[in-house]
A and B are shown apart, each in its own frame.
Chain A
Amino acid sequence: MTTGMDRFAALMSGQTPDRVPIICNLLDQGARELGVSLREYYSRGELVAEGQLRMREKYGYDTLLGMFYSALEAEIMGCRTIVYADDGPPNVGHLVIHTPEDINKLHLPDDLHAHPRFRELATCIGILKRESAGRWPVLGVVTASFSLPAMLMGIGQWLDLFLSGDPELRNRLLELCSQFCSRQIVALREAGADLIVYVNPVASATFITPQKSREVALPWVIKDLEVPGASGVVFFNGGGRINPILADVQSHTGIGAYYLNPFDDIGEARAILGPQALIAGAINDIRLIDWSTDEIDREVERIMHAGKQAGGFLFGTLLMPFRIPDENIKALVDAAIRHGAYAGNRP
């Protein structure tokens, strides 16, 4: 049997796998699989690992996602309140930074494993790694230093600080966030993550101009990866368009894989990146809530067609909303398997 790891390995060595690898970013749906509340689900790494393993087995995609929810990073940085919903991801309910003085009081844990929430995450990744037995790449996820402040102080306050605020204060905050990001990458790899999904929405062209991104965000991408290195790192759009910043990120960081926004053109990304980099194309997964199976099939076919032409291609989703019906997740993966097959490997 060809595994997800085989497909990723083929792509990374410049070969063509049997079909396009499929990344299906299901998170909260794991609680539904286990019949527990989201609060209970995320309380223990064992439960999240079980949910991820069951979902991969059920739908048949190619990766295991070693992530709880984005706000977990804010928790490790001191967020005291996480707000749970019944039907969506937990959210930051307390901002760590209210005033400029709070930045000076911000403290990084020396050892991430000393924090109970990180321990649960590491436990989850460890189980995924063990149960995968080398068959399915385990994805660890980290928020870039340039985007993390949005979770610590709110996006409006962060825009205010980096656009018009005190540069010294901004750099102090980014320095801390960058140390945190680097340590997390190292710790996630140690826990068992095969690939690191590096999430940087605030650096994307949806938030700031490419010029601003080059001037104020790119130096921090370089810094984030200075110690842990860019090997196995996937630059993830985080919901923003990234084609306009691809050239800068690629030429200054050595990152080898780029996960596009649904509104980024796949052919254009290939033209910017050249032949070596891997490209993941993402479907607009909010539409999966109410698209028919025919509509899903047509959209997957369109993306796969563009991806195969581009080469070095992976098919993916953003973070799939809880409301997507089970049959539509199945339809998505079935269509991706069917349309992602390379010649001579039709299922």
Chain B
Amino acid sequence: MTESRIQQHLETYLKALFDTDKPAALSIVQEALDSGISPESVVFDVIIPGMERMIGGMISDNMVTLSQHFLAAQIAEEVVDRLIPLFATAPEIQGHVVIGTSHGDFHGLGKKIVIGCLRARMFEVTDLGINVQPERFVDEAVAAGAEVIAISSMMVHTATGERGPKQVRRLLQERGLEEGIRIIVGGAPYRFHDGLFRDVGADAWADSAAEAPAVVARLVQEVRP
């Protein structure tokens, strides 16, 4: 009975995401909670599958759009933040990521979507914002004890320039931090050129925000003792 109710909530939630209807999506979340479904189940059986099916393009034969990605991740982040304090036991944190857009890049949309996906998947995320200096990526990662630095770039020159991921890599090398911190990149230039992440010194890239948690989880595993 509960399982079928959850499934029903998931289906209506997916429809609201597909229609980019935020009020409807939030109202479905509230209805699920009001009907007695636990906060854990709402997060793990509705919100996260909804986000991943939407962002992974699995609910439609049509292409899933950035606005749908954006909304799915935004709602996931908001709801997870609200419901985690209500969990019976605190969830295990999967890893710590510092994230920002590369120096000179003022496009924050992709980063926002990825943050939503990571937080919903129980990663701790430090958002450094846009136009981040390479030194700051490294300093903040060290200060936070982060395993992964995530660098988003919307433009070719901010992805490939000397103050972008390349310099973050050099700083990790110079400070002897490469064993403990991995770099992941993402953004439009990498989607147009799937080998570009290696050229800029990254360890990995994610083609979509939905892939990011799995790739980050792998990177975290690589560096954890």
| B157 interface neighbour in A159, A207, A262, A323, Cβ under 8 Å | A323
| A159 interface neighbour in B70, B107, B156, Cβ under 8 Å | B70
A207 to B20, CA, bound (A): 11
User: Do A85 and B109 touch across chains, with their CB atoms under 8 A apart?
Assistant: no
| B108 interface neighbour in A156, A160, A207, Cβ under 8 Å | A156
User: Do A208 and B67 touch across chains, with their CB atoms under 8 A apart?
Assistant: yes
Residues of B within 8 A of A83 (CB): 104, 106, 131
A155 at the binding interface (Cβ < 8 Å): yes
A99 at the binding interface (Cβ < 8 Å): no
User: Do A93 and B106 touch across chains, with their CB atoms under 8 A apart?
Assistant: yes
A205 to B67, CA, bound (A): 10
User: Do B22 and A91 touch across chains, with their CB atoms under 8 A apart?
Assistant: no
Given A159-B70, A205-B65, also A91-B109 (CB < 8 A): no
User: Do B193 and A209 touch across chains, with their CB atoms under 8 A apart?
Assistant: no
User: Do B105 and A91 touch across chains, with their CB atoms under 8 A apart?
Assistant: yes
Given A93-B106, A155-B109, A208-B67, also A85-B161 (CB < 8 A): yes
A260 at the binding interface (Cβ < 8 Å): no
User: Do A284 and B192 touch across chains, with their CB atoms under 8 A apart?
Assistant: yes
User: Do B158 and A88 touch across chains, with their CB atoms under 8 A apart?
Assistant: yes
Given A88-B161, A206-B65, A207-B66, also A155-B155 (CB < 8 A): no
User: Do B193 and A159 touch across chains, with their CB atoms under 8 A apart?
Assistant: no
CB-nearest residue of chain B relative to A93? B106
Main secondary structure of the interface of A (DSSP, over half): loop
Residues of A within 8 A of B131 (CB): 83, 93
A289 at the binding interface (Cβ < 8 Å): yes
Given A85-B157, A286-B189, also A164-B66 (CB < 8 A): no
CB-nearest residue of chain A relative to B161? A87
Q: Size range of the interface on A?
A: 35 or more
Residues of A within 8 A of B66 (CB): 159, 206-208
Chain A 211-236 against B: per-residue CB contact (8 Å), 1 yes, 0 no?
Answer: 01000000000000000000000000
A241 to B112, CA, bound (A): 22
A286 to B161, CA, bound (A): 14
A198 to B23, CA, bound (A): 33
A80 at the binding interface (Cβ < 8 Å): no
B71 at the binding interface (Cβ < 8 Å): yes
CB-nearest residue of chain B relative to A88? B157
Given A156-B109, A159-B67, also A209-B156 (CB < 8 A): no
| Distance (whole angstroms) from the CB of A305 to the closest CB of chain B | 21
Residues of B within 8 A of A154 (CB): 106, 108-109
| Distance (whole angstroms) from the CB of B46 to the closest CB of chain A | 19
A239 at the binding interface (Cβ < 8 Å): yes
B188 at the binding interface (Cβ < 8 Å): yes
Task: Output the residue of A286, A287, A290 with the most chain B CB within 10 A.
Answer: A286
A59 at the binding interface (Cβ < 8 Å): no
Which of chain A's residues 70-122 have a Cβ closer than 8 Å to chain B? 83, 85-89, 91-93
A58 to B71, CA, bound (A): 46
User: Do B161 and A289 touch across chains, with their CB atoms under 8 A apart?
Assistant: no
Which of chain B's residues 1-30 have a Cβ closer than 8 Å to chain A? 18, 20, 22-23
| A163 interface neighbour in B67, B107, B112, Cβ under 8 Å | B67
A289 to B62, CA, bound (A): 31
A207 to B71, CA, bound (A): 12
Chain B 132-156 against A: per-residue CB contact (8 Å), 1 yes, 0 no?
Answer: 0000000000000000000000011
User: Do A164 and B22 touch across chains, with their CB atoms under 8 A apart?
Assistant: yes
Chain A 272-315 against B: per-residue CB contact (8 Å), 1 yes, 0 no?
Answer: 00000000000010110110000000000000000000000000
Chain B 152-182 against A: per-residue CB contact (8 Å), 1 yes, 0 no?
Answer: 0001111011000000000000000000000
A321 at the binding interface (Cβ < 8 Å): yes
User: Do A322 and B157 touch across chains, with their CB atoms under 8 A apart?
Assistant: yes
| A85 interface neighbour in B20, B71, B104, Cβ under 8 Å | B104
Residues of A within 8 A of B161 (CB): 85-88
User: Do A89 and B62 touch across chains, with their CB atoms under 8 A apart?
Assistant: no
B63 at the binding interface (Cβ < 8 Å): yes
Given A88-B158, A159-B67, A208-B20, also A286-B108 (CB < 8 A): no
Residues of A within 8 A of B109 (CB): 154-156, 159
CB-nearest residue of chain A relative to B66? A207
Residues of B within 8 A of A244 (CB): 62-63
User: Do B20 and A163 touch across chains, with their CB atoms under 8 A apart?
Assistant: yes
A322 to B20, CA, bound (A): 36
Top 10 A-B pairs ranked by shortest CB distance?
A: A88-B157, A286-B192, A321-B156, A164-B22, A155-B109, A87-B157, A207-B66, A208-B67, A163-B20, A286-B193
**What are 22 contact pairs spanning A and B, CB under 8 A?**
A83-B104, A85-B104, A85-B157, A87-B157, A88-B156, A91-B104, A91-B155, A93-B131, A155-B108, A155-B109, A159-B70, A159-B109, A163-B71, A205-B65, A206-B65, A206-B66, A209-B62, A244-B62, A262-B192, A290-B199, A322-B156, A323-B157
